[in-house]
Amino acid sequence: MKLYGYWRSSSAWRVRIALGLKNIPHEYEVVRLARGNGEQNSQGYVAKNPQGQVPLLELDVRPGESAPRRIAQSMAIIEYLEEAFPAPALLPGDPWLRARTRQLAEAVNSGIQPYQNTPLLDYVKDVLARDEIATARHFIERGLRALETLAAETAGTFLVGDAPTLADVYLVPQLYGSRRFGADVTAFPTLLRVEAACAALPAFHVAHADQQADRPREG
């Protein structure tokens, strides 16, 4: 199994956490993201993932097959891992809590993170001639306010109860990204408390953007 990713990609970061929590052995191949001539736009990579994005999970070649199977999009990848490697579970057994866990994850995945993606910010800056950072910050803070309110109904040590779930996998990279855009996260005590609980777990520490080998080093 191989994961294609980039150190600061929040979507790839989510998959790194899930792989770590489930203790799944895998290779890691860096795709250096950049505007225009980034490796995500290379002919070789686009042949693997036509969207030209990370993460991409490449499965081992099965007997009788000549090419590996691949899965893109963090939610699809993590759902696959949950089904293929069910322990430890990232979704609670109770149907309502499972749905709420997915809701919290999607609040980040579709309700916050898209507003900080490079293509959107480039459009805001270059076409609309507006402040792209202020735009991202506005939507990030709006989304985090909703997430803080929703989390209050289910939070224990983590966002849903006392074991890490899919919701926490999505929370931690988002808070990192939120700070990059200057969002005020101090107004969200539940989210920050859960972030601290996650940081104490080895899988979250190892998956952190700042721990990745492809992270640019000072000097």
Contact between residue 89 and residue 79 where contact means Cβ atoms under 8 Å apart = no
Taking only the tens place, the pLDDT of each residue in 169-189 is: 999 999 999 999 999 999 999
Lowest mean pLDDT among 36-40, 90-94, 139-143: 36-40
Of the candidates 127, 111, 110, the one whose C-alpha atom is nearest the C-alpha of residue 119 is 127
| pLDDT at residue number 128 | 93
pLDDT of 214 above 70: yes
Mean pLDDT on 26-55 = 92
Q: Which of 136, 137, 138, 150 is nearest to 106 (CA)?
A: 150
210 confidence band (pLDDT: 50, 70, 90): very high
Each as own residue / partner, the long-range contacts of residues 135-141 (CB below 8 Å, 24 or more positions apart, any chain) are 136/181, 137/181, 137/182, 137/183, 139/112, 139/115, 140/112, 140/115, 140/116, 140/177, 140/178, 140/181, 140/183, 141/178, 141/183, 141/184
Q: What is the pTM of this model?
A: 0.94
Query: In which band, very low, low, confident or very high, does the pLDDT at 118 lie, cut at 50, 70 and 90?
Result: confident
